[in-house]
Structure 1
Amino acid sequence: MKTAQGWRLGIGDIQFMTGPRHQLQLKSPMWIIALVSLVSVLLIGSYFYPRQSYAVYYIFSSSGCKSISEWLPPTPSRVFTDEEIAARVVSRELLKISIQSKNPKIAFMFLTPGSLPFEKLWDKFFHGHEDRFSIYIHASSEKPRHVSRYFVDRDIRSKKVVWGTVSMVDAERRLLANALQDPDNQHFTRSCVPLHKFDYVYNYLMDTNMSFIDSFEKPGPHGNARYLEHMLPEVKKDFMKGAQWFSMKRQHALIVMADNLYCSIFKQYCKVAFCLNMVCYVTYS
């Protein structure tokens, strides 16, 4: 009878390998040293010999961005108010460096309810002097029909004007504000009909250092009777009436546009007076 024999693995059955042990050795990182050296050389070269990347310049330059801006919707524009136009003109003149205009012009400003009755006469006056004048038209009642090419597309945004009221002052300030936006306009005039040739008027106004404003004393409801003591102390009692005709230099036109004190006083108190039973009254709000 055979008996089962078991086999046990003992310590003596294990064979140990003798001899030296070999560890895995890493190769020398020569490629890392070469890469660092190359980057260092490029950095040093770019420091001493800077070059401009034309590709980057094209992407970030304004000319390169034009193609992108063409895809964008146009910026909506709005019409500036009279006060905004006046403020922009005055602030721009105060901040800019004074430079003599290479092409000084006279700004002819027309305040009219509609079409100009002497437009054909003005056409002959302006003919041959196209680079020495500019035209601005304030039509308060209806859009004028022009017969002269010099007056086409020269209408500014206008509002209703009532004779003898401060709305006439507002209209003339509106004309000045539009004319002052052209830096070549050096003289500003409100005229009715030309009495001399263009060369005579141009040379006379450009050579003078004075402005001309119509001012006189006129008793009655449409003159001195408009004065009120509420206008003191800014406006004295030696009140003078002035017509709408004037001719002034650029620096004086800027003073008119920059004023808010006197203009607000006249708007509040200087109204049309009327007489009833020999007693004069002044209507004001």
Structure 2
Amino acid sequence: MGGDMQMLPGSSHRPALKRPVWIIFFVSLVSLFLACSYIYPPHGDAACYVFSSKGCKAVTDRPLPSPARELTDEEFASKVVFRDILHIPRIQPKYSKIAFMFLTPSSLPFEKLWDRFFCGHEGKFSVYVHASKEQPVHVSRYFLNREIHSDKVGWGKISMVDAERRLLAHALKDPDNQQFVLLSESCIPLHSFDYVYDYLMHANMSFVDCFFDPGPHGHGRYSKHMLPVVEKKDFRKGAQVCLNRFI
């Protein structure tokens, strides 16, 4: 009886000793968590829904970053060329693509025909559109959101060369583009996509449209200001080109 009476007080106090330990541990953990959130305030917008601190105020009061300055044509082209130079030796892409660069005043009258030409060959081509007068209305999904920054173009003026360079600079951004075809709104495909793709990808050269035109829009546009670099007998007219990336 005496031994049992000595064990009862001990057994009744054991559960009471565990409860304060867990309470102290929980309170300590919460205190540590609150202290850390005060010392290191949250910097994300989502965390501000849980905590209220000076850090959240700083996030909401922080001025929005100013938009990046739009690069000029020369700066944009230089950036693309420098990137290509820094990537020498070049790695041959797994899927080579043809960049179709359309120089047009507005909508493309033969867009439906081009849609049939491109259909089923996704991943083998890229489309770029420079519309100099009006925002084009597209009927083909391959032309949606493919417009680049465009300026006014005068036929036979240096602005046309600037537009062509602008198209080429944007097409060069994609390292998978290996061939670059310049087209106008009146151009149409004469062969199937497979025929054009195989021909260009196996042609280790570039193609430049250049011919003698005795009319007023050809030889008649020669200017003496071109001397002595270009003599009148050497003056030629050219339009469409197909350029190889490595030539």
SS in 1 for 2:83: helix
TM (normalized to structure 1)?
Answer: 0.60
Aligned to 1:243: 238
Aligned equivalents of 2:92, 2:199: Cα separation in 1: 18
Larger radius of gyration: 1
Q: Structure 1: 5+ residue runs without aligned partners?
A: 1-66, 253-285
Aligned to 1:122: 114
Residue 190 (structure 1) shift: 1.9
Query: Higher helix proportion, which one?
Result: 2
Q: Structure 2: 5+ residue runs without aligned partners?
A: 1-41, 46-58
Residue 142 (structure 1) shift: 0.3
Aligned equivalents of 2:228, 2:246: Cα separation in 1: 26
SS in 1 for 2:239: coil
Structure 1 residues 129-278: aligned runs within 5 Å: 129-191=121-183, 192-252=187-247
Kept after mapping to 1: 8 A contact 2:222/2:235: no
- Match among 88, 92, 95 for residue 83 of structure 2: 92
Kept after mapping to 2: 8 A contact 1:218/1:240: no
Structure 1 residues 232-282: Cα deviation after superposition (integer angstroms, max 9, x where no partner)? 443344433333211111134xxxxxxxxxxxxxxxxxxxxxxxxxxxxxx
**Between 87-96 and 194-203, the greater mean CA deviation after superposition:** 87-96
Kept after mapping to 2: 8 A contact 1:119/1:148: yes
Aligned equivalents of 1:87, 1:69: Cα separation in 2: 37
- What is the percent sequence identity of the aligned residues? 60
Aligned to 1:26: none
User: Which amino acid is 1:86 matched to?
Assistant: A
User: Which amino acid is 1:139 matched to?
Assistant: A
Residue 161 (structure 1) shift: 1.1
Cα root mean square deviation, aligned: 2.1
Aligned equivalents of 2:235, 2:95: Cα separation in 1: 36
Q: Which runs of 4+ in 1 moved over 3 A?
A: 67-75, 225-230
Aligned equivalents of 1:69, 1:243: Cα separation in 2: 57
Aligned to 2:69: 78
Kept after mapping to 1: 8 A contact 2:106/2:132: yes
Residue 99 (structure 1) shift: 1.4
TM (normalized to structure 2)?
Answer: 0.69
Aligned equivalents of 1:190, 1:230: Cα separation in 2: 27
Kept after mapping to 2: 8 A contact 1:187/1:205: yes
